[in-house]
Amino acid sequence: MHKTSEQKRGLSHSVYEKLCKSLLPLTRPHYSSLIGVWTYGLFACIYDIAPELVALCGLSPVPEMILNTAEIEMDEVMKKKLQKLDESLRHPAGSSAVDSLCEETASLSTSRKKKKKKKKKIHQEVGSQESEQQNKEEPCPDTVVTSIEESNSSVQPFTHPDENSREWRQISRRWRSKLEKLANIDSSNTNRLGNLTLVLTDEFRIAKGSDGTEVFLGLRDDGTEVAVKRMIKFNYQDLRNEEEFLRLPELDDPSIVRYVDFAEDAHFGYLVLQLCEYSLEEYIQDHLPDDRAERSLVLKKLVKEVLCSLQVLHDKKTKVLHRDIKPQNVLIGRTRLADFGISRRLKQGETTLRTSIAGTRCWKAKETINQKVNTGYKRSSDIQVAGMLVYYILSGGHHPFGEDVDCEYNISRGRYSLEHLEDDVAKDLVKWMINENPNERPTVEQTLAHPFFWTDDRYNVILMTFVFRLYRIDDTADCNRFLKSSQESAVSENIGKRERG
């Protein structure tokens, strides 16, 4: 039977109270941010049911590192719950849930007092009707009566009485202060573009490209935070091209940056997109976890999400070649590919695109570097550049073909170094992807099936299956004994070699 939140509070109050006390120690800084994420996530769920317990248990606001880790580890629903919890802990007086509970408690208190008065009247002489009516209408001494206008309730926390203020549905952490200013800035200082408000000044510009593209923060009339790409009109074909791709139904996917709108004025074109927190370049440089094990998990997750994004593009129905994969064109929340300005779609039955050189310096496939020997752009060309990006992620910001002036020369000669990778399985994946021969590179589906992404359970099952078939072992117990004895033999042999050496 479905229970209301009031019923859940009444039936399980003591359970939630004990749970809060048990979880509180796990929010201390010496625990990993991954533990912190899921602990605060549990508190966020409890807050939905019993906000007063969370408000009174001594929980501190959600630390910045926890919120950053949540961007990687949690889905959109949980991230919003966590942001709601953080906001309530930072501004407790404005928590609508707690205010609501206080009103319920006050109402209950008033009701009980009235009942007591009623009982008292049975044993007392009935006073005048007028006096009795006054007592009923009088508020109880411990009940605070506050009008909606006077209260600090945050039912609509980002809608302000100021005529110049506008609705703001807060999601972004990084751009919060700028968006707050944008939400309250005088209308005479803003630019209106359809249902969009933005300010075209350096203060609200969040990115700038070498081709004249600028990206500004914006707010839609419904309060949605957006990023607005602006390009001068006589040179904005790439912007139009990107809009066409992002409007494809096949690209309506969580792995691809979300299209919101397109507009233009007399001089510029404006592409309105989902606002993300960081580029991959920024995230790798400044926002990775310090804990080694946790960092490894986050990096593997980033790699998988990049390849899942590419899988959406390379799908047989979609058939889109990105042609400009690089750290700046991967956006972080959930990892998403972005910037489809020079992307192209293959026609039915087509596997190769004959076109001019595409891509950014050092982020090009070997076969596209030299225009004279350009053999065309294929899915495998995207794969080689994605392999460079995989190494960039796993190595913490290095390029397999070197830096600066030597990079493209090394790509054209197939000279690379994987010195910043310790994991041999990861090295194998990168080598496969950056192979100088396009025909020997994997498809994106093959990269996602690589052992680098296997869980321990899957690896063990495949290894045991191989042993079964190779040695015709009859049952799992025999297989386990065989694997154990083989491992012990290998260790003994290795120790013997070291002693002899």
- Domain harbouring 320, CATH code: 1.10.510.10
Distance set, CA 31 to CA 35, 301, 425 (Å): 6, 21, 29
Same domain (yes/no): 297, 427: yes
Higher-confidence residue of 500 and 183: namely 183
Angle of helix 379-394 relative to helix 424-433, nearest 10 degrees, comes to 150
46 and 53 in contact (C-beta within 8 Å)? yes
Q: Which amino acid is at 125?
A: E
Q: Report how far residue 85's alpha carbon sits from residue 147's, in angstroms, rounded to the nearest whole number.
A: 25
Task: Single out the residue in 50, 81, 97 at which a domain terminates.
Answer: 97
Place of tokens 């009940």: 143
Cα 319 to Cα 346: distance, rounded to the nearest angstrom: 6
Q: Distance between CA atoms of 104 and 148, rounded to whole angstroms? A: 15
Q: What is the pLDDT of residues 275-323, one digit of tens each?
A: 999 999 999 999 898 889 899 999 999 999 999 999 999 988 877 888 8
| Nearest Cα to Cα of residue 57 among 30, 10, 24, 103 | 24
- Do residue 312 and residue 390 come from a single domain? yes
Q: Is 330 contained in some domain? A: yes
Domain assignment present for residue 420? The answer is yes
Structural domain tally of the chain? Answer: 4
Mean pLDDT, range 247-268, rounded to an integer:
83
Q: What is the pLDDT of residues 419-443, one digit of tens each?
A: 999 999 999 999 999 999 999 999 9
Instruction: For residue 489, give both structure tokens.
Output: 């033999």
- Residue 105 above 50 pLDDT? no
Domain annotation covers residue 108: no
pLDDT of residue 383: 96
Confirm whether 51 is domain-assigned.
yes
Residue 1 predicted with pLDDT over 70: no
| 145 has a pLDDT exceeding 50 | no
Rounded to 5 degrees, what are φ and ψ at 349? Answer: 85, -5
The reply to whether 271 and 295 lie within a common domain is no
Whether residue 336 contacts residue 76, with contact meaning beta carbons closer than 8 Å, is answered with no
Q: What would the two tokens of residue 316 be?
A: 């047989």
Q: What predicted TM-score, i.e. pTM, was given to this entire model?
A: 0.61
Pair (369, 421) in one structural domain: yes
203 in a structural domain: yes
Question: What is the predicted pLDDT for the residue at 151?
Answer: 33
Give a yes or no: residue 141 inside a domain: no
Residue 13 within a domain: yes
DSSP E strands, 372-429: 377-378
Give the length of the chain: 501
Q: Do 328 and 460 lie in a common domain?
A: no
399 and 313, same structural domain? yes
| Parent domain of 474 | 456-500
| Confidence grade of residue 136 (pLDDT, cut at 50, 70, 90) | very low
Give the domain-ending residue among 226, 241, 275: 275
> Residue 73 has what pLDDT?
66
Q: Looking at per-residue confidence, does 498 or 404 come out higher?
A: 404
Choose the weakest-confidence range: 236-250, 298-312, 319-333: 236-250
Q: Which of 240, 275, 310 lies at the terminal end of a domain, its last residue?
A: 275
Cα-Cα-Cα-Cα dihedral sign, residues 25, 28, 31, 32: positive
| Per-residue pLDDT band at 458 (split at 50, 70, 90) | low
DSSP string, 393-408: HHTTS--TT-SGGGHH
Partnered with residue 345 across adjacent β-strands are: 320
- For residue 231, the SS3 value is strand
CATH number reported for the structural domain that contains residue 207 in this entry? 3.30.200.20
Question: Residues 214, 292: one domain?
Answer: no
266 plus 350 within the same structural domain: no
The answer on pLDDT for 495 being more than 70 is no
Per the CB < 8 A criterion, the answer to whether 291 and 245 are in contact is: no
Asked if residue 260 and residue 285 are part of one domain, the reply reads: no
Query: Which residue intervals of 124-236 are DSSP H helices?
Result: 129-137, 176-184
Strand partners, 352: 378
CB atoms < 10 A from the CB of 347, how many?
9
Q: Are 167 and 180 in contact (CB under 8 A)?
A: no
Q: Is 412 contained in some domain? A: yes
| Candidate from 128-142, 180-194, 266-280, 378-392 with smallest mean pLDDT | 128-142
Residues 413 and 446 in one domain: yes
| Same-domain pairing of 390 and 461 | no
Instruction: Choose between 400 and 74: higher pLDDT.
Output: 400
Under DSSP, is residue 61 helix (H, G, I), strand (E, B) or coil?
A: coil
State whether 400 and 420 are in the same domain: yes
